[in-house]
Amino acid sequence: MNLNFFKNIKFYYSNLIGTELFSEYEINYFIHNLKNINFNASYNVLNFETFKNNLIIDFNKKPLNFCLDTFLADYKNFNFLLVKNISIETLNDAVLFNSIVDYFLNSNKTIFIPSLSSSNISILNVYDSYTKKCAFPQSYYIEIFKLRLKLLCLTRLIAACETYPKSINFFLHYALQRGFSNDNADTIPENLILNYSNLCQITIKLDKLNKLNFSKKFSFRKLESKNNKYVINLTVYSNFYEIYFNPSLLINKIIAYIAHIKNNFNNIGSDILDISKITKSECRPNADINLSKIQNIAASEIDNPVLIMAGAGSGKTKVIVNKFLYLLNYISPYEILVLTFTNNAVNEIKNRIFKTLNLNDDEFIIKNNLKIYTYHSFFYSLIKIYYKYLGFQNVPEIYAENNYNDNTKKNTFFSENYDYPPYLNNTDGIKSFDDILNYALKLFENDDILTEISKSYKYILIDEYQDLNILSDIIIKKIDYGRGNITYAGDDDQSIYRFNGGDSTNLLSFDLFYPSGKIFLLQSNYRSNETIINFSNNIIKKIDFRYPKLMIQGNNTKNNNTKKITGDLQLKKFYLNFIKTYAANFSVFKSGANNWILINKKTEPKNSVYYDFINLINFKNYTDEIEFNINLLVALLNSGFKTAILTRTIREEIKYKKFLKYYMKMPSKNNLNSKYIKNAFIGTIHKSKGMEFNSVILSNFSSANFPKKDGINNNFGIEHQIKHPFSSFYRLQSNNYKNIDDERRLFYVGATRAKDIIFITYTGDKSVFIDL
């Protein structure tokens, strides 16, 4: 142990800094000294060997159910916690030890005192023996656990021959280069003290848990010295993370503050000032968007890792935007990294931020420089900066595209051309998005590069977390560097990209990685009417392995268009005519009875139902189904309703677009008002993700097409997909990703795009999903 630990105990106790112990003798010596110090300090000993043997992680259908508070209840209310007999032999051991590290990283009371069996072993090496046994991708997650442990050691642990943790030593080294001095006596005081130009004494108080809200806490007093000169006594509130990742920024703020005081010495009194007002002015939110209580709490939680479990239509993007705006109270907009899947989502988030900040066109530079990217464009941007480290002579070009990212697809309304991966004939470029991920991970083998990237971003916001693949999740966690300054937003019920690597286990195992994290459940749907919400709940509740949630109707859901659609007599007339012309039969869904009611199309309804909020139409042949849907699309558009025809495949999408183009060229049939074409969407359910429409037509819901037969019997190549290491903690290992559940999620996503009305069409036998 560090022999000077008890000599400087006030500083270490005040700032939650511990030391390593290397034998049972040192444990006894440490406890003996604790009992003799002149203030009341409590302690406990956690035997990790006993702890891990008594706690086997096994969730049995219950994701997000890791109750760390229960497991550590006997150890949390102590000033010092000695952790001994640390050995990592299994993934279970690794996850449990990470939970202990997570606790210390987020504790405002307890000091970490690790005890090891030999002075030749550092706490940083406890994962090493297990790492040698690990295969990919488990080894990458162990690396992230090691990174979190490293951060704890850098900021909260002193080595045997050091006075300060490495983070503070690094900060002091930089401060001395800038003209500061650290003239502490043999016994260091309770806080870190610096001197500057013989006229200023700086006291740095480390706020242990306040990760972001410290940058504007500078206060000072004027002290008269013996030679009748004033000395500035400056107090700076910071934390371990700023001291380690941004020492130059903190030093520059201190120098700017001192210069401001000197220049205005006679005109200002002792005060706490916002440092941003005397350094670089940053944009600040000047408007607020109405949020529900749970949305507001989720948006303002910045001191713990956050998972926002956001059901369909629950305002996920709204919370992400408001969290970004809330963060602007504490950090620069350029220090916030936001990642999502499509360019449309990037632009939507940017535009909402831009609008709320009320920035004019002259300030477009701010908008264009916000750090809001698609995942792969961000990862590629890192490669473009550090390409020489990867062995490239020039910035590598991309010669292929993955088909689940719609960013580069020619998405004009009538487009029949899709950017499928071209023939790969260049061996010097990047041939797939997987290459981008692998190159990014290779960059992070260099800790200097990783640290440089990590310090650029003080907070990370992750969108559509349920569709993120394992490699992307690892990259993001590495950039966070163990700080937990991160918010994930997603919904496992809307995980529809598993065929392309998306893995909702990332989301469902959030608490295994961040036991101290906060989970916020958003289940108020502000998009759809009550019937559609109940119908969608019935679709998704049949999936066994999911985070249980039940959508309810939000208070401000607008149903004006619902009433307008169902009450439109002209639309009813067209609809009934289409039914008589093309359909074999049709039914409406009654939410109260939770079943379908068959309507006799031969009898014209009087006070009966033409159509309801959810409608099912059967056809004898597929051509009739297509013609019916195109005519219905045109009628709905002409009535002023934003409408989508959603298909299961791109092939079906192309058929519908060709037919509509043909329809519009026939003067005898074409009655589509051109001003409404902007309200039309024809595309796959996958492409509609994140969109919403007044009316949705779900096409080709036949038993042959939905679910896909190979979706039940085969794996779409999924058997070759990387298995998430944490999936081993669930008893449903062989069933938790049933392929028919992927199909059910796809149906759910399609249905929840609708605000007011749904038409489900099929030819032949209906899908088994229809019978709720």
Name the token pair of 374. Answer: 């698609």
CA dihedral 765, 717, 753, 629 (to 10 degrees): -40
Q: Say how far apart CA 241 and CA 253 lie, in whole Å.
A: 16
- Element housing 359 (H / E): none
Backbone angles phi, psi at 329, to 5 degrees: -70, -15
Residue with tokens 């993700």: 689
How far is the CA of 347 from the CAs of 317, 722, 736, in angstroms?
Answer: 12, 31, 35
Report d(CA 220, CA 633) in Å as an integer: 68
Question: In this structure, which amino acid lies at residue 718?
Answer: I
Report the 3 state secondary structure along 437-451: HHHHHHHCCCHHHHH
Residue 174 in contact with residue 245, Cβ under 8 Å? no
Alpha-carbon separation of residue 747 from 52, 144, 500, 611, 689 (angstroms): 42, 36, 18, 21, 12
Cα distances (Å, whole numbers) of residue 646 to 470, 538, 695: 29, 20, 11
Rounded to whole angstroms, the Cα distance separating 535 from 748 reads: 9
Long-range contacts, 397-400 (Cβ 8 Å, 24+): 397/426, 397/429, 397/430, 398/429, 398/430, 398/436, 399/424, 399/425, 399/426, 399/429, 399/430, 399/431, 400/424, 400/430, 400/431, 400/432, 400/433
Q: Is 501 annotated as a binding residue?
A: no
Cα–Cα separations (whole angstroms), residue 636 to 441, 481, 614, 688: 49, 51, 15, 18
Q: Which residues contact 403 (CB under 8 A, 6 or more apart)?
A: 420, 421, 500
Among 325, 330, 334, smallest CA distance to 369 is for: 334
Give the whole-angstrom CA distance, residue 441 versus residue 472: 9
Instruction: Determine whether the annotation assigns residue 311 to a binding site.
Output: yes
Q: How many whole angstroms separate alpha carbon 38 and alpha carbon 35?
A: 8
Q: Would the annotation count 299 as a binding residue? A: no
Report how far apart, in Å, the C-alpha atoms of 149 and of each of 80, 190, 540, 643 are. Answer: 18, 25, 39, 52
Strands 80-84 and 272-273: unpaired
The Cα–Cα gap between 543 and 325 comes to 36
- Would you say 310 is a known binding-site residue? yes
Q: CB-based contacts of 80: which residues, under 8 Å, 6+ apart?
A: 18, 34, 41, 42, 43, 44, 110, 111, 113
CB atoms closer than 10 angstroms to residue 386? 17
What is the distance between the alpha carbons of residues 91 and 110, in angstroms, rounded to a whole number? 26
Residue 292 one-letter amino acid:
S
> Nearest 10 degrees: CA dihedral of 315, 318, 320, 325?
-150
- DSSP structure class, residue 719: G
Q: Identify the H or E element spanning 760.
A: strand 754-763
Strand 459-462 relative to strand 218-224, pairing: unpaired
Q: Residues within the annotated binding site for ATP? A: 310-317
Q: Residues within the annotated binding site? A: 310-317
